[in-house]
Chain A
Amino acid sequence: MAARFVGARIKRREDRRLITGEGAYVADLARPGMVHAAILRSPYARARIRAVDLTAARQSPGVLLALAFEDLQPAGPLPLPVPHPALKAAQEFPLAPGMVHYVGEPVAVVVAEERYAAEDALDLIRVEYEPLPPVVDPERALAADAPLVHEELGTNVAAHLEQETGDVERAFREADHVFRERFRVLRGSGQSIEARAVLAAYDPLLQALTVWSSTQTPHLIRRGLAPLLNLTEAQIRIIAPDVGGGFGSKGVFYPEEFLVPFLAIRLGRPVKWVEDRREHLQTAIQERGQVHEVEVAVRRDGRILAVRDRFVADQGAYTPWGIVVPVLTATMVPGPYKIPNYRFEVTVVYTNTVPSAPVRGAGRPQAVFVMERMVDRVARELGLDPAEVRFRNFIPPHEFPYVVGLRSRDGRLQTYDSGNYPEGLTRALRLIGYEEVRKEQERLRAEARYLGVGMACCVEATGLGPHEGATVRVDPSGRVYLYTGASPQGQGHETMLAQVCADALGVELEEITVVTGDTAGIPQGTGTFASRIATVAANAVTAAATEVRARALRAGAYLLEARVEDLDLISGRVQVRGVPEKGVPLGQVARVAAGAVPGPGSPMPEGVETSLEATSYFTPAQAAYASGTHAAVVEVDVETGMVKVLKYGAIHDCGRMINPMIVEGQVCGGVAHGIGNALLEEPVYDGSGQLLTSTFMDYLLPSAAEVPEILLDHVETLSPLNPLGVKGAGEGGTIPAPAAIAAAVEDALAPFGVRITEVPLSPERLRRLISRGERAQDGGRG
């Protein structure tokens, strides 16, 4: 059938509710008899807990319960959903057992009638700490005399991985040039408007636990919670109501996911905990921190023959998502380029800082930064245009599927399904007017104004498994209900999945209600992360809706006394092809399938299956590889070090766009996040592991005023891996942005010989680089 809704720019149906304040977030919810939890967190990055005295806290007015680790027994450790054979995992407990490993780690919890009473009681808890020297810097953590984050592991190395494809040694021997560079990418975080929150209520009569959690992964929370609480999964219902942003930082099983339900069961009263911003900045997972030593071997024409990358990845105190971030970085360094010889070696190290886990981009911004900065280096050293070096090294469009030669994160041979990288770069350069900008740059340099252009290309593994499902059910009223385990945090799932369903089933968009984020809605789910929903969930919707359509036609055949082959389902009516007046509405068909016609006691009509519904799970065999190219034009004020982004062009290829408006929203939001990573966002720890950026006055985010207008264009290379031909769109906006901005800044400051090898670029760091460049020039003249 022709697509009516897939591909259309349809306004997001959830926006009216969300924008007018009608959304319901966990903090908005209340249950009768509800009480409030507050958490005492470690003020030290590394310390032994000698004693916790809860006596005074327990006597504080309004306090119902005050607990430390010993009071939880048996409880923990927290689940490790993503194991890896190379990973030496440290156990993480809901409350610190005798040692604290980062500032903000939960030590005790208080429940009181009111939130303020619980907070009052926190002040009365006496914890006797023995502060120990922490290790904050990941490279320092590798030193022989470095303090151990987890003494029981006997090392700070969480994992060491190596892989090689081709013959790297030989390529380096035979190359015309070898360039070497050291890069640092500093940490960043995911700052959703809504912080985390959990509300739990246990019904002793039904022996059932209901948890409302501001999470990206309701089914994974259920999976983690059941064994910890000694309940069956059937006894637990997790609901993610409206969730105000996630960006990865709500994709983790945090201590509070266990603590709040545990307390609700223990007290027999609903318990709510709402994280405040300081807690979010202090304890929500972060990402990005890596130090790379990279070498490239090139031919004199700019062809890259080999890359050798050794890097250290800062894991923080625990591994809530295993080591997927460094693995993603390592395997995505080659990116869109045909590099026959590549070797990586990564050492993942524990530090006394907040645990690291995927934040929008998940390891790829680092990979792109490293590779793209090296491509720019090659261009500079060989006197070539940076665009030209890219064109010479791209995987040609006719070579797909392209086997990279590495094992990817899922253990399979990393194979790009489709793409057209030269087209992406061509369009990105056109968006910003590359040739004109170069002329303008020349002209302004004469006035001592410094304009620069930068570009960056990325490939991204999207739509990862194991599965996402959809149940499509037609109510006897005719209304279509679509249930999925893919819970949204603002991405527009309700609209996008309804579009897919409407086309596959043959109903109007308005006839569909999309129910997300409720484990009672569908037995299994994985969750929203890794740019996977448009690929995995939408194809499940297609399959389920197609099956429901077939069932509707068979039931319709009974009602209309027609042959199935002669029937069609259009706009919610099963009708005889070519004779639209001969038809029945879908609700009537659903009633037949429900057994309401002919009625109780009669046999089911022949050929009609019970219940007009179907559940389908899509299980992708491998990732679908999206790509993106960004081009930025910046001006740098060399007196203040301030960077102004004058123009920003973003090309994205996510295969078929189900809703281009939603894709564009995702790309723009992603670029804003990437600009934050490039210029602003940095969790700063001092030498003792104290977080110095625990308010938005200190942790800098791009506001609307700092985000330039983003010029957009799309390349659509359909993925052959799924029926809709889609790839993910959620993270591609973020991934190339730091590299593109860094390249533009370096280009602007070429007269000063400045090299950008680190992000974020604060004005102060830039000014230091500029004045170093000025001094070098003065020295040269002298």
Chain B
Amino acid sequence: MRPFEYAEPVSVGEVCEILGRHGEDARVIAGGNSLVYFLKRRIVSPRVLVTLQSLPAALGTADPMPGGGLRLGALMTHGAVATHPLVRERCPQLATTAANIGSVRVRNSGTIGGSLCYAHPAIDTAPVLITLGAEVVIAARGGTRTLPVEQFFSDAFKSVLAPDELLTEIRLPGHGRPLRGSYIKFVGQKAKSSMAIVGIAVAIRGGDGAPVEEVHIVLGGVSPTPLRARRAEDLLRGKRATPELLRQVGAAAAAGTAPWDDPWASAGYKRDMVEVLSRQALEGLTGLGPGYQG
């Protein structure tokens, strides 16, 4: 790790100002779970490290929004997301997802915003957020902008944030009738605290004995950024689920992926797991099977 300056701004405006001044030479640190590793490995060597620990408390809280929606401060830790009563009530699949990120230590320091900005291809929260139509709020020197989470990622480990921008908030829309959803974090033989090999977020409206009115399938770990399985969604939307149809949906989800080989899982295995697990997830939500029994 190389020496750096350490800035501790107290407002979002001040953060953006510092970031604007130093451009690529500055890096923001929240929980530090990924950045500190990058610093040690010298993958990044910023001249200025900007801590967010003295920003207003609202950046670390969850609040209700009109119509049953939710706003989550970007500095909420995974542990806070997992245990917050409002999240558990309005968005249980996000709470469960957060509860299975990393280890206790990671959950107590890692933040939901930090993890989105890290933009790991196998990030757990993003696929869930995308199935729920979530948005991010981004602050810059000139003001703020809002963007669907689906459009936040530009490549593996890259987001659309400009050098002077800061992710401040995640917004979950209200739904007339809530989407029923689940997230499967498949780590294979890796330790339970590892990043997913593949992640499968599914959310549907209807489907319990009736046709599936709305379906969202978003995959992690099988393309540089979270991947929406549109062909699979199209196959299922408006139809009544059957075992055979769900098999086809699983196959379609897998067909659209572009995974890569890792030492512990080849591209082919990841694709196979998308096929098996997206089918199992949908079986669980439509009452055709027990769901993933990991």
Contact = CB atoms under 8 A, between A and B. Distances in A.
Contacts of A119: 42
Interface string B256-294: 000000111110010011001100100000000000011
Contact of B269 (A692, A697, A699, A764): A764
Contact of A701 (B188, B191, B263, B276): B191
Interface stretch (A312-320, A410-418, A678-686, A713-721): A678-686
A647 B272 CA distance: 29
B194 interface: yes
A230 interface: no
A88 to B, nearest CB: 32
A636 to B, nearest CB: 12
18 contacts: A276-B40, A640-B186, A642-B294, A643-B189, A680-B190, A684-B263, A693-B263, A697-B195, A698-B262, A698-B263, A699-B263, A700-B190, A700-B191, A700-B264, A762-B265, A763-B189, A764-B269, A767-B272
Interface string A762-777: 1110010000000000
A119 B40 CA distance: 11
B189 A120 contact: no
Interface residues of B, number: 28
Nearest to B279: A639
Nearest to B190: A700
Contacts of A693: 263
Greatest chain B CB density within 10 A among A640, A682, A762 is at: A640
Contacts of B266: 764
A764 B192 contact: no
Contacts of A278: 41
Contacts of B293: 637
B191 A640 contact: no
Contacts of B269: 763-764, 767
Interface in A663-686: 679-680, 682, 684
Contacts of A640: 186, 188, 273, 276-277
Nearest first, the 4 closest Cβ-Cβ pairs linking A and B are: A703-B191, A684-B263, A764-B269, A705-B192
A381 B132 CA distance: 56
Nearest to A766: B189
B194 A697 contact: yes
Contact of A762 (B1, B195, B264, B272): B264
Given A116-B3, A119-B42, A693-B263, A700 B272 contact: no
Contacts of A639: 276, 280
B268 to A, nearest CB: 8
B2 A116 contact: yes
A706 interface: yes
Given A706-B192, A764-B269, 20 more contacts: A116-B3, A640-B188, A642-B294, A680-B190, A684-B263, A693-B263, A697-B194, A698-B262, A698-B264, A700-B190, A700-B191, A700-B264, A703-B191, A705-B191, A706-B191, A762-B264, A763-B189, A764-B265, A767-B269, A767-B272
B189 A679 contact: yes
Nearest to A705: B192
A693 B190 CA distance: 13
B189 A762 contact: yes
B192 A682 contact: no
A702 interface: yes
Interface string B54-96: 0000000000000000000000000000000000000000000
Contacts of B144: none
A276 to B, nearest CB: 8
A693 B277 CA distance: 26
Q: Looking at chain A, what size class is its interface with the partner chain?
A: 20 to 34
A706 B186 CA distance: 14
A637 B292 CA distance: 11
Contacts of B189: 642-643, 679-680, 700, 706, 762-763
A423 B191 CA distance: 35
B92 to A, nearest CB: 23
Interface in A748-782: 762-764, 767
Contact of A702 (B186, B191, B193, B280): B191
A699 B264 CA distance: 8
A703 B42 CA distance: 28
Interface string B1-35: 11100000000000000000000000000000000
A530 to B, nearest CB: 30
Nearest to B197: A763
Nearest to B192: A705
A703 B264 contact: no
Contacts of A763: 188-189, 269
Nearest to B186: A640
Contacts of A116: 1-3
Greatest chain B CB density within 10 A among A700, A703, A764 is at: A764
A109 to B, nearest CB: 18
A643 B276 CA distance: 16
A278 B37 CA distance: 12
A702 B193 CA distance: 11
Given A679-B189, A703-B192, A705-B191, A120 B2 contact: yes
A639 B278 CA distance: 12
Greatest chain B CB density within 10 A among A120, A637, A643, A762 is at: A762
A698 B197 CA distance: 11
Contacts of A764: 188, 265-266, 269
Interface in B184-239: 186, 188-195
B263 to A, nearest CB: 4
Given A116-B1, A697-B195, A703-B193, A692 B263 contact: yes
B187 to A, nearest CB: 10
Contacts of A762: 188-189, 264-265
A693 B263 CA distance: 7
Contacts of B273: 640
B160 to A, nearest CB: 26
Interface in A514-559: none
Nearest to A706: B191
B263 A682 contact: yes
Nearest to A765: B269
